[in-house]
Chain A
Amino acid sequence: MASRPKLSGIQKQVLALYRGFLRTAHLKSPEERRRIESVVSAEFRDNARNVDRRNFVYIEYLLRRGKRQLEQLKNPDITGLATLEVKK
């Protein structure tokens, strides 16, 4: 029945963080919610593709950063988040 490979602890943390973001997005206004969802999903997917899955140090750093951002986002005074592209 469990036909998918068992997820490692770190993968579960990533998914839990993603779920946390989606839940928090619920609480904001609908337009903001869409923006949060697109930013968060784009970032998670990019990292999933670009970061080597054995690079635990970087992944843990990203997790810590994500948790901090999520805490800030949960604050009701915060109305949304945005990202900027920096041209190198």
Chain B
Amino acid sequence: MAATMSAISAKAAGGYRTAPALVSWKGSRAQGRSLISMAAAPRSLRLVSLRTPRFRVYAAKAETVNKVMEIVKQQLALGAEAAAAVTPESKFTDLGADSLDTVEIVMALEEEFNITVEEDNAQNITTIQEAADLIDKLVA
């Protein structure tokens, strides 16, 4: 997802017209909706509100994602080769964690980043990317 995000932002910088109502790439939210100009035809002000999860531009920072990955690897005690297979999209359950492990991971993240995660939010975290997004949202 990071790759597509940087591709899109490169395009946005490269001269497509973006309307002033658009959200900045830093992940600030305009009324909780992310508007992204797809600019299918250049220079057209076609604003498409994409509510599909792939375009949730909370723009989790790369270092946050890395820290999360480190903590996950540590908590799940992954061996060297399993650790290499970890990507931001990996689900915790794919990495061999059960729900108790997930709770432990969320607690470790709370401690590391000094945040408190709500009960409901914690239930919804399934991938590393989601965890990083939530963290950035709470830390910002």
Residues of A within 8 A of B (CB): 1-4, 7, 11-12, 15-16, 18-19, 22-23, 26, 41, 44-45, 48
Contact = CB atoms under 8 A, between A and B. Distances in A.
A46 B100 CA distance: 12
14 contacts: A2-B124, A2-B126, A3-B91, A7-B99, A11-B99, A15-B99, A16-B119, A18-B100, A19-B106, A19-B107, A22-B104, A26-B111, A44-B100, A45-B100
Main secondary structure of the interface of A (DSSP, over half): helix
Interface string B52-92: 01000000000000000000000000000000000000010
Given A1-B53, A2-B126, A4-B126, A15 B103 contact: yes
B63 to A, nearest CB: 24
Given A16-B119, A48-B98, A3 B126 contact: yes
B103 A19 contact: yes
Contacts, number: 36
B14 to A, nearest CB: 30
Interface residues of B, number: 16
Interface of B: 53, 91, 93, 98-100, 103-104, 106-107, 111, 119, 122-124, 126
Contacts of B104: 22, 41
A76 to B, nearest CB: 20
A25 to B, nearest CB: 9
Contacts of A7: 99, 123
Contact of A41 (B53, B100, B124): B100
